[in-house]
């Protein structure tokens, strides 16, 4: 069975990637993470794709790294493999990634969802970083991104106990942008991706980069980064088209230039 299913053009400008190891609740083994990363890098170069939705199935987005695969590894195996450098490649992608999460998003699954730009959750979604229960800690960004998403005290509580939290809690705390009925979570994520894909691509890219800088820079540096990008957009044909179309009361035609 293919560990990753790819549907390009499922909506205009949208690609859907479906994690497909249902027998292990989409545990992220090395082959799946390699394929996911390679596919994302290819889609990054594909002009027809403007936004990417990553999903699993109703029962699980992903229940974490594959425990069975790594159980007997040594520290040196881990170091040499350096599996998590693939996650840095995903972090650097310019295109928009939306996680459509239903069921378990645990450990590396929660970390993958947090690596995406937006999370849409079904009402059955459950999030958590349960690594502590198997003798380790989150290794793909959980200790850093969960703190930034839900605050230190809550992140500490959930990382130190390994307990899960619900979609409703995740929404109340700002980890996910929306909770929708389980039959709608993928549809809603695809609709959102299509809407973003219809926006001027360079502006989308620079908006994403600017928002992500809020994680990493001081306010002063972040404001500077934003301002440079705002000014830069006045060099695009799409800025001229967008503002002209507004004044002429018509729909703009984007060129991505």
The interface region with ligand CAA, picked from 105-113, 117-125, 148-156, 178-186 by CB under 6 A, is: 105-113
The total number of residues written for the chain in this structure: 257
Q: Is 104 in the site for ligand CAA (CB under 6 A)?
A: yes
Q: Taking CB under 6 A as the rule, does residue 103 contact ligand CAA?
A: no
CB of 33 to ligand CAA, least distance (A): 9
Contact indicator for 6, 39 with CB cutoff of 8 Å: yes
User: Which residues in 155-174 contact ligand CAA (CB under 6 A)?
Assistant: none
Catalytic annotation present for 195: no
Write down the least CB distance from residue 26 to ligand CAA, Å: 8
Which entry of 109, 111, 125, 140 is annotated as an active-site residue?
111
User: 196: which 2 tokens?
Assistant: 């973003």
60 noted as active-site residue: no
Q: Which is nearer to ligand CAA, 182 or 245 (CB)?
A: 182
Taking alpha carbons only, the member of 62, 210, 212, 214 closest to residue 140 is: 62
Residues 115-134 that bind ligand CAA (CB under 6 A): 130-131, 134
Residue 238 in contact with ligand CAA, rule: CB under 6 A: no
Question: Which residue in this structure is represented by tokens 């705390």?
Answer: 173
Site mask, ligand CAA, residues 2-31, x = CB under 6 A? ----------------------xx-x----
Among residues 175, 180, 174, 206, the alpha carbon closest in space to that of 192 is found at 180
Measured from the CB of residue 25, what is the shortest distance to ligand CAA in angstroms?
Answer: 4
Q: Does 33 bind ligand CAA (CB under 6 A)?
A: no
For residue 150, count other CB atoms closer than 10 A to its CB.
20
Q: Which is nearer to ligand CAA, 96 or 146 (CB)?
A: 146
Give the residue with the Cβ less far from ligand CAA, 121 or 202.
121
CB of 6 to ligand CAA, least distance (A): 23
Q: How many residues bind ligand CAA (CB under 6 A)?
A: 21
Q: Annotated catalytic, 38?
A: no
Task: By CB under 6 A, name the one of 3, 56, 108, 201 that touches ligand CAA.
Answer: 108
| Active-site residue, 64 included | no
Residues near ligand CAA, by CB under 6 A: 24-25, 27, 63-68, 104, 106-108, 111, 130-131, 134, 138-140, 142
Which residues participate in catalysis according to the annotation? 65, 108, 111, 131
């Amino acid at each position: 069975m293919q560990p990753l299913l790819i549907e390009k053009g499922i909506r205009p400008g949208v690609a859907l990637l479906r994690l497909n190891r249902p027998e292990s609740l989409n545990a992220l083994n090395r082959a799946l993470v390699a394929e996911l990363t390679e596919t994302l890098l290819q889609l990054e170069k594909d002009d027809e794709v403007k936004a990417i939705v990553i999903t699993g199935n109703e029962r699980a987005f992903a229940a974490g790294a594959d425990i069975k695969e790594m159980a007997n590894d040594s520290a040196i195996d881990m170091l040499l493999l350096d599996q998590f450098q693939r996650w840095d490649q995903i972090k650097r992608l310019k295109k928009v990634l939306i996680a459509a999460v239903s069921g378990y998003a645990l450990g590396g699954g929660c970390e993958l969802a947090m690596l995406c730009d937006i999370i849409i959750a079904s009402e059955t979604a459950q999030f958590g970083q349960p690594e502590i229960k198997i003798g380790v800690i989150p290794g793909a960004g959980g200790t850093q991104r969960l703190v930034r998403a839900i605050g230190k005290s809550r992140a500490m509580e959930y990382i130190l106990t390994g307990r899960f939290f619900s979609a409703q809690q995740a929404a109340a705390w700002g980890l996910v942008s929306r909770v929708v009925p389980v039959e709608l979570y993928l549809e809603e994520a695809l609709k959102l991706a299509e809407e973003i894909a219809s926006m001027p691509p360079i502006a989308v890219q620079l908006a994403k980069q600017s928002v992500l800088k809020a994680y990493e820079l001081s306010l002063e540096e972040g404001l500077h980064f934003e301002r440079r990008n705002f000014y830069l957009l006045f060099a695009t044909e799409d800025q001229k088209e967008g503002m002209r179309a507004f004044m002429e009361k018509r729909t703009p035609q984007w060129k991505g230039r």
